[in-house]
Amino acid sequence: MTTNKHVLEFVEKYTKHFQPDNVVWIDASEEQKEELTNQAVATGEVIKLDSKLLPGCLYHRTHPNDVARVEHRTFICSRDKENCGPTNNWMAPSEAYKLLDEISYGAMKGRTMYVIPFSMGKIGSPFAKYGIELTDSIYVVLNMMIMTRVSPKVFDELGDSDDFVRGIHSKVELDEEKRYICQFPEDNVIYSINSGYGGNVLLGKKCFALRIASYQGWKEGWMAEHMLILGIEKPNGEIRYVTGAFPSACGKTNLAMLIPPKVYTEKGYKVWTVGDDIAWIRKGKDSMLYAVNPENGFFGVAPGTNMKSNPNALISTQKGTIFTNVVLDAKTNTVWWEGIKEPAPTGDKVFDWKGNPWFEGKTDEKGNVIKGAHPNSRFTSPAINCPSISSEFENPSGVPISAIIFGGRRAKAAPLVYQSRDWEHGVFVGSIMASETTAAAAGKVGVVRHDPMAMLPFCGYHMGDYFKHWLDMGKTVENKPLIFNVNWFRTDDEGNFIWPGFGDNMRVLDWIIRRCEGEVDAVETPIGFLPKPEDINLEGLEDFTIDQLKTILDVDKDTWIKEAENITEFYTKFGDKLPNELVKQLEILKENLK
């Protein structure tokens, strides 16, 4: 398939190491896909779903110990420990290679090794970066075919070049004690063993498109961010693009595919989806920042996805989709999950994500309800399935960004929306992001942790340098995006969400766009510019009053004084790598709160 000697050497080296029975090069042809699917069906690795109701769709279960990213087993193996920074786990490259080689030596005996050539970004575009993933999992091959652009054309683009990311994956024995996800930024290498879960093994996603790419971007003058990209079309046909950074499982996919409320659609507003998880950002024409979505599909959280919360996502899953860890109805060969807002399937052929017989309301010995789908169960769907996919999705130059939105899941502190005073302050706002943890990563759910730019688990180098890089990127363009912070998750004293969220988030996007166009003014507060309550359009919103709006636009001084203390403590982590600009911004915040 290629004569590139670097590729051939790489494949040969790991063929010797893993000792597979066969090596299969992936060309992503329909015949090959069909053959691999049939093989995986034969071993039970995947189940074919109903060809009429869910054409081309497959079902898969991961090992019950292997259902989310494992941040405590994820390492940045930079040559110098200092470059890994205080927010990542570090292992010396030589030590990491040795350890992972020992654990995985001969791991593919009796198995096939697949060689997947893939591109992040449209093949041949100025943004594109190429990778080769080796894996012993057909599930990984089939997912990569959806999530990335898998094609032998990658070899044509590569020519003789050594400039590709080497992804090495083996399930080995799915031993969680020996599970490692290692990134070697200086070597362009990712080495992942003993897992079969998406975020740990679809190496094009977090490992490459964020951890390795953020490092590449730092060196090469661009940015890899954990951001959705969407376009807002106004009644006059003009489209404004915004990007948004939110931690995993905070509604990025929902926001990216938002359907505006009737009062907006009637006037002719539309929202177009460019990406739901990752944005690569570069300086482009008109001295603006431009963004592309390097992925080719969506790896979305299933629970809670329904025709009301996200019809575009649900429609995207109706063909060519792989469902992982949801409920299987083996009688109809269909799937179900909590919050789909359809009656749960019944009968003796319904199985939960662990493969056990299941019915809605089933309880364990202690009387706790057993969920049918894992809270982090996922769908892998082709982006082109999405009814709201933007016509610019394939644009090799990307889309110009008018605004950047940061957001987290905060019960109290952050107001519904505020705008930073300028780029520097905006970088500060991103750096102080905090959010309650979710099921997307192993560990405790619901504790507040700092998650700058939603990149805490994904930044491939020292976060102090990362902040500096953000500050520098702002200097490269004259027409900088305006920077905002949103919080859809403020709760009342009973713990209920106050803001309706979902499609109604359009009302906040509308204010953001009007700010970008200088059409509306704002109130200056200690933390930045807030909307005047009357400037958030509440038309057609039932059961929501302007007084409720006022409560979620409130900036409570005492809460923010505490917040500033937490930031001070969090910032000490970064030592002298913390840019002075951010120290200054923190001082301004404290001064403003006096």
In the complex, which residues of this chain contact Mn ion (CB under 5 A)? Answer: 248, 277
The count of other CB atoms within 10 Å of the CB of residue 38 is 12
Q: How far apart are the first and last CA of the chain?
A: 67
Single out the catalytic residue among 182, 250, 386, 459: 250
Min separation Cβ 252 and ligand SAT, Å = 8
DSSP character string of 154-210: HHHHHTT---SEEEEEE-TT--GGG-EEEEEGGGTEEEEES--SHHHH-TIIIIIII
Q: Which helix (H) or strand (E) holds 552?
A: helix 546-552
Q: Does 440 bind ligand SAT (CB under 6 A)?
A: yes
Q: Does 450 bind ligand SAT (CB under 6 A)?
A: no
SS3 75: strand
The C-alpha atoms of residue 67 and residue 61 are separated, in whole angstroms, by 9
Binding partner selected for residue 440 from ligand SAT, Mn ion, none, CB under the kind-specific 5 to 8 Å limit: ligand SAT
SS3 441: strand
Q: Which helix (H) or strand (E) holds 279?
A: strand 279-283
The residue sitting closest to ligand SAT, measured at its beta carbon, is: 199
Q: Does 171 bind ligand SAT (CB under 6 A)?
A: no
- Binding segment for ligand SAT (CB under 6 A), chosen from 198-206, 484-492, 526-534, 569-577, is 198-206
Do 150 and 142 form a contact (C-beta atoms < 8 A)?
no
Binding partner selected for residue 69 from ligand SAT, Mn ion, none, CB under the kind-specific 5 to 8 Å limit: ligand SAT
- Closer by beta carbon to Mn ion, 37 or else 248: 248
Q: Does 4 bind ligand SAT (CB under 6 A)?
A: no
Q: Give the footprint of ligand SAT on residues 202-221 (CB under 6 A).
A: 205-206
Binding partner selected for residue 299 from Mn ion, ligand SAT, none, CB under the kind-specific 5 to 8 Å limit: ligand SAT
DSSP character string of 114-159: EEEEEEESSTTSTT-EEEEEEES-HHHHHHHHHHSEE-THHHHHHT
Q: Does 305 bind ligand SAT (CB under 6 A)?
A: no
Min separation Cβ 239 and ligand SAT, Å = 26
Q: How many residues bind ligand SAT (CB under 6 A)?
A: 8
The C-alpha atoms of residue 327 and residue 356 are separated, in whole angstroms, by 10
Min separation Cβ 40 and ligand SAT, Å = 20
- Closer by beta carbon to ligand SAT, 45 or else 451: 451
SS3 295: coil
Q: Which two tokens stand for residue 317?
A: 């899953």
Binding partner selected for residue 199 from Mn ion, ligand SAT, none, CB under the kind-specific 5 to 8 Å limit: ligand SAT
Q: Based on the residue annotation, tell me whether 250 is a catalytic residue of this protein.
A: yes
Min separation Cβ 276 and Mn ion, Å = 8
The site for ligand SAT (CB under 6 A) is made up of 69, 198-199, 205-206, 248, 299, 440
Active site residues: 250
